[in-house]
A and B are shown apart, each in its own frame.
Chain A
Amino acid sequence: FAGLADVSISEDIPVEGEITVPVGSHSPDEDYSTLDEPVRDTIMRDLKAVGKKFVHVMYPKKSSALLRDWDLWGPLVLCVSLALMLQGGSADSKDDGGPQFAEVFVIIWFGAVVITLNSKLLGGTISFFQSLCVLGYCVLPLTVAMLVCRLVLLAGSGTVSFIIRLIVVVAMFAWSTLASTAFLADSQPPNRKALVVYPIFLFYFVISWMILTFTPQ
């Protein structure tokens, strides 16, 4: 460096330039950077996504929204509300009554996990959480049925109310099974479709049975 000591920069030449690095375009960054938006926007966006999926379940069309942007908020809300509504079942002793909250929760989540594992083991191409998402969201018709049953039971619990409840539960069970089959069937190998659909049928049948046999105090 000894030789460089002689080099000097004349002080009347100003050094200028731009230090900032030019960004290509602002829009990709803005899409992923949601730190600065108000909390209300974040919550509303997620709520709208959940709501859109509810609509997709009630009117099952060939849309990939349920599969592509999976989330588990909807299934959690549905599962908790269903389990809460199934409380208050009558029992002379605590042993013989309807399912407890934990039992409903475990049945729904463990059942969904087992069905997902089953379809993946049979060679399905759907991912684990996508399948959980679809199965959870398709509990929506049965939750609606539970709500209707509770309202009908408020009016009375005779034979007529039983027949109404039976019709409603059977209709919603069929709707749930058909909706989830519509979403899940395409990702299965063609000669094993029935093997995959049957456990889904069993799963919603058990939930329907729990709803139908609910008798209030």
Chain B
Amino acid sequence: IVTCLVLYLLAEFDDAANLLAANPDATTISIDEPAEIPKNQHGRLQEPGREEDDELLGTDDSDKTELLAGQKKSAPFWTFDYYQTFFDVDTYQVLDRIKGSVFPVPGKNFVRLYIRSNPDLYGPFWICATLVFTIAVSGNLSNFFIHLGKPTYHYVPEFRKVSIAATTIYAYAWLVPLALWGFLMWRNSKVMNIVSYSFLEIVCVYGYSLFIYIPTAILWIIPQKVVRWVLVMFSLCLSGSVLVMTFWPAVRDDNRRIALATVGTIVLLHALLAVGCLAYFFDAPELDFPAPIIPAHNGTTVITKSQ
């Protein structure tokens, strides 16, 4: 085991040496590699956020997990064991990750703090499934309560909307990370970034960041427009901040405008998902059914509005 360790570290030193030769101004710290590579001097000031990232790297815990991660996923992709490595989480770990996605700690990176090179597919998959059914059921219930008592209303289960919800949410949770990962890889080849995330880590962050929408969807049953929009803003702030704090270190070394555009797009897509679900699955509370026209005594017709 010690020989393997030494050989692995030597290989990393080789890579680092090559990188240094190519681009002397760049820092040689990469979070995905073992953290024992000595830091080189470089011109820019150390920002506190960077130190914090380095501090997270310096612990033995993440060191071991980095090396273990390198040895973990060695099964070929057509065996069952390969996929089992993505479900290597315990109950308390899943709960911790959910908590981390709902209460963003300022300055701490969700991926580094909670995922620590053990991205799982359990969380993203089942959070998306729960969200699909929560939105469909809540939407159905909310429409039922809004239109209850109206004479022309006949309850329908609206089962079609489940498949639409499923398509939308799974597409968001898998295609947007794919696009983001591709974009980050492309920028990585142009600008030497400190932080680079693997595809599964990005999927993980997105999946867990959708968790806040589950209680939000349940609370959207309340048929008040103000309440619904306050909920949208609140959940968007919480999960949006988790996403921003995760991806800001990955793009901040880039061209300022591209960095801001990337982070802005991430938040915008997140907001679009929330607003789109609210608009499509939940009828507006002030929606009026055409009420019967009651002729008033003086001959003018009055249409009664039901509230």
List chain A positions with a Cβ less than 8 A from chain B.
89-92, 95-99, 103, 118, 120-123, 191-195, 198-199, 202, 205-206, 209-210, 213-215
Collect the chain A residues with CB atoms within 8 Å of residue B160's CB: 95-96
User: Is the beta-carbon distance between A193 and B159 smaller than 8 angstroms?
Assistant: no
Q: How far is the CA of A67 from the CA of B92 in the complex (A)?
A: 29
Shortest CB distance A83–B (Å):
13
Q: Answer whether A98 and B157 are a contact pair too, CB < 8 Å, given A118-B122, A191-B92.
A: yes
Collect the chain A residues with CB atoms within 8 Å of residue B90's CB: 191-192, 195
List chain B positions with a Cβ less than 8 A from chain A.
80, 83-84, 86-87, 89-92, 94, 122, 126, 129-130, 133, 137, 140, 154-160
Q: Could you show 13 A-B contacts with beta carbons less than 8 Å apart?
A: A90-B154, A98-B159, A118-B122, A118-B126, A120-B80, A121-B87, A191-B91, A195-B94, A195-B122, A202-B130, A210-B159, A213-B140, A215-B157
User: Is the beta-carbon distance between A97 and B156 smaller than 8 angstroms?
Assistant: yes
User: Is the beta-carbon distance between B91 and A192 smaller than 8 angstroms?
Assistant: yes
Q: Answer whether A103 and B91 are a contact pair too, CB < 8 Å, given A121-B83, A195-B122.
A: no
Collect the chain A residues with CB atoms within 8 Å of residue B159's CB: 96-99, 103, 210
User: Is the beta-carbon distance between A122 and B157 smaller than 8 angstroms?
Assistant: no
Shortest CB distance A210–B (Å):
8
Nearest residue in B to A196 (C-beta to C-beta)?
B91
Collect the chain A residues with CB atoms within 8 Å of residue B83's CB: 121
Collect the chain B residues with CB atoms within 8 Å of residue A95's CB: 160
User: Is the beta-carbon distance between B91 and A195 smaller than 8 angstroms?
Assistant: yes
Q: How far is the CA of A97 from the CA of B154 in the complex (A)?
A: 11
Shortest CB distance A109–B (Å):
16
Collect the chain B residues with CB atoms within 8 Å of residue A205's CB: 133
Closest 9 CB pairs of A and B: A213-B157, A121-B87, A96-B156, A191-B90, A194-B91, A99-B159, A98-B157, A122-B87, A95-B160
Q: How far is the CA of A191 from the CA of B93 in the complex (A)?
A: 10
Which has the most chain B C-beta neighbours within 10 Å: A191, A192, A215? Answer: A192
Collect the chain B residues with CB atoms within 8 Å of residue A198's CB: 126
Shortest CB distance A151–B (Å):
20
Collect the chain B residues with CB atoms within 8 Å of residue A193's CB: 91
Q: How far is the CA of A123 from the CA of B87 in the complex (A)?
A: 8
User: Is the beta-carbon distance between A96 and B158 smaller than 8 angstroms?
Assistant: yes
User: Is the beta-carbon distance between B91 and A202 smaller than 8 angstroms?
Assistant: no
Q: How far is the CA of A104 from the CA of B160 in the complex (A)?
A: 12
Q: How far is the CA of A215 from the CA of B156 in the complex (A)?
A: 7
Q: How far is the CA of A96 from the CA of B144 in the complex (A)?
A: 13
Nearest residue in B to A104 (C-beta to C-beta)?
B159
User: Is the beta-carbon distance between B94 and A202 smaller than 8 angstroms?
Assistant: no
Q: How far is the CA of A184 from the CA of B106 in the complex (A)?
A: 41
Collect the chain B residues with CB atoms within 8 Å of residue A120's CB: 80
Q: Answer whether A195 and B89 are a contact pair too, CB < 8 Å, given A121-B84, A202-B130.
A: yes
Shortest CB distance B80–A (Å):
8
User: Is the beta-carbon distance between B156 and A92 smaller than 8 angstroms?
Assistant: yes
Q: How far is the CA of A96 from the CA of B140 in the complex (A)?
A: 11
5 further contact pairs, Cβ within 8 A, besides A98-B157, A194-B91, A209-B137: A97-B157, A103-B159, A121-B83, A121-B87, A202-B130
Shortest CB distance B87–A (Å):
4
